[in-house]
């Protein structure tokens, strides 16, 4: 909900794709910078409690934006500052939740656990994105933001009841030292380096699309925010189906090929958008993009788990995931200026970024495990 709501909130209240892109950038990028510290904290102090802390901070952040906007006391600088501060704890929940799955699941069941993980995200998109668009259309963006805060609060309550799995970490020494060791581990691990190149480049596309698709739907096709929400929901539904199917099959030895094929399909889907003069074309492109997401996630998650020492899951995953995600805020920030030049230029830039990313799974990710996975 919150990603869709923030973008539509800025477009509705400030009428600026450039500010929407900057908001998306600041809602993610500062947290990526502190992710090594977050990973060290997760390996040292456990995951469930730190996930709760992030959810509470996220709830307070979006509530503050909603209240200040309602009082007409939210200049753009304050908006960027608030979402930037709120992003600092994001790695606690993103990495904390994701690194729980391989800790509590036997390795032979990792594909199915990863399908559940991926399905949880796309199911949330399936429900949350349309709900966000509907709330904005009916009640306004401030109420939609307040609803996001309530959902974060509910998630924190659920996580409070989760038992912490037994620790297998070797995180000795200070938090700063362990953060540095996590960076070293990722740099020395050829698989994690290759995944970083793949994801950082591919996520440039997603960052651009997160701004360009709403502008396409709202301005070119003259639809409302509810339509934007339902399109993202359709993407989530398609991803849910493909993730559940892909998760029932062993991916061992085929992870790189899964990622390569999924990126090519995604690039082909994005290439339909510059020609979209009617909503059904956009819907087809978004659904195909979502279908490709399921196999991609299974290949990515399973390969990262197999080639990372379990004792380093928190630190390595925090650094790896943050480097992987760095393309999204950069793409969102670039989307505003590109759209100012031409919406089609922005969409073709997303296609080019996806095609460039397709080269990395086979060229930069080793076909076999490498010795550095054991630290």
Please state the three-class secondary structure of the chain as a single string. Answer: CHHHHHHHHHHHHCCCHHHHHHHHHHCCHHHHHCHHHHHHHHHHHCCHHHHHHHHHHHHHHHHHHHHHHHCCCCCHHHHHHHHHHHHCCHHHHHHHHHHHHHHHCCHHHHHHHHHHHHHHHHHHHHHHHHHHHHHHHHHCHHHHHHHHHHHHHHHHHHHHCCCCCCCCCCCCCCHHHHHHHHHHHHHHCHHHHHHHHHHHHHHHHHHHHHHHHHHHHHHHCCCCHHHHHHHHHHHHHHHHHHHHHHCCCCCCCCHHHHHHHHHHHHHHHHCCHHHCCCHHHHHHHHHHHHHHHHHHHHHHHHHHHHCCCHHHHHHHHHHHHHHHHCHHHHHHHHHHHHHHHCHHHHHHHHHHHHHHHCCHHHHCCCCCCCHHHHC
The predicted pLDDT at position 190 comes to 86
First to last CA, the chain: 38
Rg of the chain (C-alpha set)? 20
The predicted pLDDT at position 372 comes to 43
Task: Identify the segments of the chain with pLDDT beneath 50.
Answer: 371-375
Ordered domains of the chain (ranges, CATH): 2-170+190-367 (1.20.1250.20)
The predicted pLDDT at position 23 comes to 92
Q: How far is it, in rounded angstroms, from Cα 79 to Cα 62?
A: 10
The predicted pLDDT at position 166 comes to 64
Q: Is the pTM of this model over 0.85?
A: no
Distances in whole angstroms, Cα of residue 349 to Cα of each of 74, 319, 344, 358: 32, 27, 8, 14
The predicted pLDDT at position 34 comes to 83
């Amino acid at each position: 909900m919150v990603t869709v709501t923030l973008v539509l909130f800025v477009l509705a209240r400030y009428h600026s794709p450039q500010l929407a892109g900057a908001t998306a950038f600041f809602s993610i990028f500062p947290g990526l910078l502190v992710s090594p510290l977050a990973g060290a904290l997760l390996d040292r102090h456990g995951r469930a409690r730190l996930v709760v802390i992030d959810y509470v901070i996220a709830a307070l952040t979006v509530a503050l934006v909603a209240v200040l906007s309602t009082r007409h006391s939210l200049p753009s600088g304050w908006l960027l500052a608030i979402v930037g501060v709120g992003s600092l704890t994001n790695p606690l929940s993103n990495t904390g939740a994701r690194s729980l799955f391989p800790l509590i699941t036997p390795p032979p069941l990792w594909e199915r656990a990863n399908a559940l993980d991926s399905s949880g995200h796309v199911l949330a998109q399936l429900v949350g994105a349309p709900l966000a668009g509907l709330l904005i259309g009916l009640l306004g963006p401030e109420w939609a933001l307040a609803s996001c805060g309530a959902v974060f609060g509910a998630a924190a309550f659920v996580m409070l009841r989760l038992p912490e799995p037994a620790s297998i970490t070797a995180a000795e020494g200070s938090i700063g030292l362990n953060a540095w060791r996590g960076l070293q581990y990722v740099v020395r691990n050829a698989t994690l380096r290759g995944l970083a190149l793949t994801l950082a480049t591919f996520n440039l596309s997603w960052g651009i699309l997160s701004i360009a698709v709403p502008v396409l739907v709202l301005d070119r096709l003259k639809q409302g925010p509810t339509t934007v929400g339902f399109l993202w929901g359709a993407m989530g539904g398609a991803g849910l189906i493909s993730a559940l199917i892909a998760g029932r099959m062993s991916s061992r030895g085929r992870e790189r090929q899964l990622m390569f094929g999924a990126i090519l399909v995604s690039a082909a889907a994005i290439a339909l958008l510059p020609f979209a003069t009617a909503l059904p074309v956009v819907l087809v492109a978004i659904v195909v993009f979502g279908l490709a997401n399921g196999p991609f996630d299974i290949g990515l998650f399973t390969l990262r788990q197999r080639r990372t020492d379990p004792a380093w899951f928190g630190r390595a995953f925090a650094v790896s995931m943050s480097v992987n995600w760095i393309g999204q805020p950069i793409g969102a920030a670039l989307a505003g200026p590109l759209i100012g030049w031409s919406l089609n230029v922005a969409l073709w830039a997303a296609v080019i970024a996806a095609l460039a990313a397709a080269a990395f799974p086979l060229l930069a990710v080793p076909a076999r495990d490498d010795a550095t996975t054991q630290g």
